[in-house]
Structure 1
């Protein structure tokens, strides 16, 4: 069974940082894995000092100021750990750098080489609506490691205007969405590890897509003899058996209570519906779908789930089958 041995948590000391640390340290504490905390000081906080140093070099020591800025952020992170997660005090590696957050996070990932990256779907801006091009989406698109995008399902509504702060939730139900792509076994293996680590119940969800049904219908001979009502029960039965075989291949057949759900329709809608119906606390997806696109495709099922899922989404590394 695959497992994560090194977790990297990306925080910016916003309201979402305690939640991000909660999920990262929660997994680390139960699985006894290494944790690196990454924080980026954005250029908008540094540029005025650079400008002052250029204009008044004798009056502003930029090097000293920037060093103090980094040390102050380290102090804040240590205080956050001490007050919220004291059992991890002195047990994490903290790294601070400056630059454009998304780019610096990706460089830090290459440098640290973690197995899993944990970051919130929002940051300091605390946007009420998800904006294309945000740091969270950029990293989700381009990160070559498994990435756990965390969010609080209780305050995920885009127009939420309350005062409640996001918190890490307990992982009691984990949903693994599979489509019989080459990484299905990897999804099941990672989901099984997370379920065993947290004591959660594992639900395996598969959707017979509308495009697949249309393709099958177009190949029926003679034409117009396809009956979806007759086709679907047999198709679901065959896929149930195939999923059971892949669960064994993933090495998690000994887990009790694994639930298999097979639906039909639009994959994104069915995954989100299943997550709601099964009261999921986390969704686990592969890096790509059947298209196997080298790059993260705008409008793909994975991207849509990432944008609209009210629960944390773990997207596996694109390199798992290389």
Structure 2
């Protein structure tokens, strides 16, 4: 079982911040974790003041003003905690930085070195759809620590234009997407940890990808004798047994309601479909798949799940098991 001691929330005081804190502090309470809350004052709020103080003679001290911005942000965060999560009032560390939000957040993550980072899929801009290069996606790609991207499945629709406030949901079912890559053991460990501290069910899923089937078909011996109707049931059973062995080896058999399923098709489509069918409240994925690519690629399975999953997505750190 993986050991988690600290958790870090990245908030910007947007409408998504209470949801982010809800998930963060909920996990912290259940798992007895040390909490650090980080926030970035963006350059658009800082640069005009800095430039004015540099170019012109001002009666107000620029450094004092910037320090006041930090204190105000810290006070706003404390006020939010006091109003919505009073049991954590005075129990969290708060770190405020100025700069470009994605870069500043990554710097704070590296400096604080938490076991888990929690971040909302949207922020102040409240974009109706993700764009390559958005802050959330940039951090999801480059964060070296395990990162939980939280979202409210009830208002996740890209075209949603209502005024409902995003809320943290209860974690009743945890789904681990296992591909038998070197990260499979860690995926199951994290999924098991989440299931145990939340008293949730665990569902382990593996997809036999269409590409794998094509490769087996083209290399099958004897040549031209491949029968998909015979191959798939046997392969599903083999993988089911392999997953069961990995769950047992990870010490997760004691979790009430452990389920295993294996299907075939396009991995990200199947993962999203199964997560909906099983009522999963959170998905746990590796940092990348079997290719062990040195970096994320546009269109990868994990990025597509990040963009389209209506439920929170926990992606492990890329440096794990390298």
Q: Output the TM-score relative to the length of structure 1.
A: 0.98
- Partner of 2:231, secondary structure, is helix
Mapped to 1, the partners of 2:217 and 2:23 lie a distance apart of: 44
Tell me the equivalent position of 1:81. Answer: 81
Tell me the equivalent position of 2:311. Answer: 311
What displacement does 1:255 show? Answer: 1.5
What displacement does 1:124 show? Answer: 0.7
Tell me the equivalent position of 1:90. Answer: 90
Mapped to 2, the partners of 1:280 and 1:256 lie a distance apart of: 15
Mapped to 1, the partners of 2:267 and 2:204 lie a distance apart of: 14
1:194-215 C-alpha deviation (Å, 9 max, x unpaired)? 0000111111011000000001
- Partner of 1:125, secondary structure, is coil
Tell me the equivalent position of 1:189. Answer: 189
Matches within 5 A, 1:241-260: 241-260=241-260
Q: Is the 8 A contact 2:201 2:255 kept in 1?
A: no
Mapped to 1, the partners of 2:83 and 2:212 lie a distance apart of: 52
Q: Is the 8 A contact 2:195 2:255 kept in 1?
A: no
What do you get for the CA RMSD once the two structures are aligned?
0.9
Tell me the equivalent position of 1:221. Answer: 221
- Partner of 1:40, secondary structure, is strand
What displacement does 1:245 show? Answer: 0.8
Mapped to 2, the partners of 1:50 and 1:84 lie a distance apart of: 34
Mapped to 2, the partners of 1:238 and 1:58 lie a distance apart of: 74
Tell me the equivalent position of 2:180. Answer: 180
What displacement does 1:54 show? Answer: 2.1
Q: Is the 8 A contact 1:185 1:249 kept in 2?
A: no
Tell me the equivalent position of 2:46. Answer: 46
Worse-superposed segment, 245-254 or 104-113: 245-254
Q: Is the 8 A contact 1:16 1:123 kept in 2?
A: yes
Mapped to 2, the partners of 1:101 and 1:210 lie a distance apart of: 39
Gap regions ≥5 residues in structure 1: none
Q: Output the TM-score relative to the length of structure 2.
A: 0.98
Tell me the equivalent position of 1:2. Answer: 2
What displacement does 1:56 show? Answer: 2.3
Tell me the equivalent position of 1:286. Answer: 286
Tell me the equivalent position of 1:66. Answer: 66
- Partner of 2:175, secondary structure, is strand
- Partner of 1:160, secondary structure, is coil
Mapped to 1, the partners of 2:31 and 2:165 lie a distance apart of: 27
What displacement does 1:48 show? Answer: 1.2
2:11 counterpart of 1:14: no
2:84 counterpart of 1:113: no
What displacement does 1:92 show? Answer: 0.2
Q: Is the 8 A contact 2:40 2:98 kept in 1?
A: yes
Tell me the equivalent position of 1:206. Answer: 206
- Partner of 2:292, secondary structure, is coil
Gap regions ≥5 residues in structure 2: none
Deviant stretches of 4+, over 6 Å = none
Tell me the equivalent position of 1:101. Answer: 101
Q: Is the 8 A contact 2:19 2:167 kept in 1?
A: yes
What displacement does 1:57 show? Answer: 2.4
What displacement does 1:249 show? Answer: 1.6
1:33-82 C-alpha deviation (Å, 9 max, x unpaired)? 10000000000011111122123223332111111100000000000000
1:74-112 C-alpha deviation (Å, 9 max, x unpaired)? 000000000000000000000000000000001001110
Mapped to 1, the partners of 2:162 and 2:58 lie a distance apart of: 47
Tell me the equivalent position of 2:149. Answer: 149
